[in-house]
Amino acid sequence: MYAQMVETGTKRLKTLEEMSPEERDFQAKIDAETKIEPKNWMPEGYRKTLIRQISQHAHSEIVGMLPEGNWVTRAPTLKRKLQLMAKIQDEAGHGLYLYSAMETLGADRDEEIQKLHDGKAKYSSIFNYPTLNWADMGAVGWLVDGAAIVNQVVLQRTSYGPYSRAMVRICKEESFHQRQGYQILLDMMREGTQEQKDMVQDAINRLWWPALMMFGPHDDDSPNSQQSMAWKIKRKSNDELRQMFIDQTIPQLEYLGCTVPDPDLKWNEERGHYDFGEINWKEFYDVLKGDGPCNRERIATRRKAIEEGAWVREAAVAYAAKQKQRAAA
């Protein structure tokens, strides 16, 4: 996942009659499920939307390392430390991989990262919440990677080839992270002390609603979704994905022996789905605007890393130039 409310630049869908011949050919390809590749013609809006979505996704992988970095130094056993380190390393890899996919669209990584640091580009709202106890490392894997997978499994069929292929690879690793996360919680619930069980419930209480927010606003409040769906960048609506996530997660929650902080959650026999309460949308939009618990810290940390590392990158460039010169001489 990790892409919410991606701006498409369109207010309404064009009809076939309104499209130019190129646009019509393009839409025909999309409708025939032919993947769009970097060298193919594409509408400017499609290109820009994809750059926004893929960069958001890449930024989320990188910013998402920070809440885990908060605990990697305090992991309680060698096994858990190694697992968490491997997960963080995978995320850095996903970030690089996605930035590369984004660059096939003519975007520049450094420029897009600068937009992130200037507050002009988004990343998933979930990473603006703090990780306050060790069980958060389990809950993040289970709920956050879990929510991401629900979205990304569908994105494996997204219309842009390089993005689709990146998703196939990323999904495999994230499914692994999700199982590991769940196992952390399960072990604590089964064999842990009361204090450890309380940590698990506390982590779920704090992360449940933010995890549901990861799917973005209601379909009715999501004007950009329609265009993204027509271009098959998105393949399922926000509300559909959210429902899928809840339906698959609640049985796992019950197996843990935990609860979620939603009094309205109950199985609806008629719909064949779980009903659930209303998300606090004010909080969602506040966090998106920058007013979440950790927005400022996350961006400040990233900006500091890149700004203070400028001399390192400059040194690498200067050294490479000298080596090239020496080889030529």
Partner 1 sequence: MTQQQALQEYVLRLADSAMILGQRLSELTGKAPAVEEELASMNVALDLVGQARNWYEYAAELIDDGRNADNLCFLRDAHDYRNLLLVEQPNEDYAVTIARQFFFDVWHYFTLKSLVNASDERIASIAAKAVKEATYHLRRSSEWVKRMGDGTEESHRRMQNAFDILWRFTGELITPDDVDNAMFKAGIGPDPEQLRQDWLGMVREVSAQATVTPGAEDAWMYMGGKRGEHTEHLGHILAVMQFLPRAYPDATTW
Among 35, 81, 117, 303, indicate the residue that binds partner 1 (CB under 8 A). Answer: 81
Which of 2-10, 24-32, 64-72, 276-284 is the region at the interface with partner 1 (rule: CB under 8 A)?
64-72
Shortest distance (Å) from residue 320 CB to partner 1: 8
Number of residues that bind partner 1 (CB under 8 A): 55
CA-nearest of 256, 142, 259 to 190 is: 256
Among 25, 37, 41, 92, indicate the residue that binds partner 1 (CB under 8 A). Answer: 92
Shortest distance (Å) from residue 91 CB to partner 1: 9
Among 34, 290, 316, 324, indicate the residue that binds partner 1 (CB under 8 A). Answer: 316
Among 103, 187, 275, 286, indicate the residue that binds partner 1 (CB under 8 A). Answer: 187
Shortest distance (Å) from residue 314 CB to partner 1: 5
Residue 146 interacts with partner 1 (CB under 8 A): yes or no: no
Residue (198 or 247) nearer to partner 1, CB: 198
Residue 325 interacts with partner 1 (CB under 8 A): yes or no: no
The 3-class secondary structure across the chain, one letter per residue, is CCCCCCCCCCCCCCCHHHCCHHHHHHHHHHHCCCCECCCCCCCHHHHHHHHHHHHHHHHHHHHCHHHHHHHHCCCCCHHHHHHHHHHHHHHHHHHHHHHHHHHCCCCCHHHHHHHHHCCCCCCCHHHHCCCCCCHHHHHHHHHHHHHHHHHHHHHCCCCEHHHHHHHHHHHHHHHHHHHHHHHHHHHHHHHCCHHHHHHHHHHHHHHHHHHHHCCCCCHHHCHHHHHHHHCCCCCCCHHHHHHHHHHHHHHHHHHHCCCCCCCCCEEECCCCEEECCCCCHHHHHHHHHCCCCCHHHHHHHHHHHHHHCHHHHHHHHHHHHHHHHHHHC
Shortest distance (Å) from residue 61 CB to partner 1: 9
Shortest distance (Å) from residue 71 CB to partner 1: 9
Residue 328 interacts with partner 1 (CB under 8 A): yes or no: no
Residue 318 interacts with partner 1 (CB under 8 A): yes or no: yes
Residue 168 interacts with partner 1 (CB under 8 A): yes or no: no
Residue 312 interacts with partner 1 (CB under 8 A): yes or no: yes
Query: Do the beta carbons of residue 95 and residue 102 sit within 8 Å?
Result: no
Shortest distance (Å) from residue 187 CB to partner 1: 5
Residue 130 interacts with partner 1 (CB under 8 A): yes or no: no
Among 193, 269, 278, 327, indicate the residue that binds partner 1 (CB under 8 A). Answer: 193
What would the x/- binding string for partner 1 be over residues 289 to 308, using CB under 8 A?
Answer: ------------xx-xxx-x
Residue 77 interacts with partner 1 (CB under 8 A): yes or no: yes
Shortest distance (Å) from residue 64 CB to partner 1: 9
Long-range Cβ contacts of 291-297 (<8 Å, 24+ apart): 292/125, 292/128, 292/129, 293/128, 293/129, 293/130, 294/67, 294/127, 294/128, 294/129, 294/130, 295/128
Residue 88 interacts with partner 1 (CB under 8 A): yes or no: yes
Residue (75 or 250) nearer to partner 1, CB: 75
Cβ-based neighbours of 146, under 8 Å, separated by 6 or more: 178, 181, 211, 245, 248, 249
Q: By the criterion CB under 8 A, which residues form the site for partner 1?
A: 62-63, 65-66, 68-69, 72-82, 85-86, 88-89, 92-93, 95-96, 99, 134, 184, 187-188, 190-193, 195-196, 301-302, 304-306, 308-320, 322
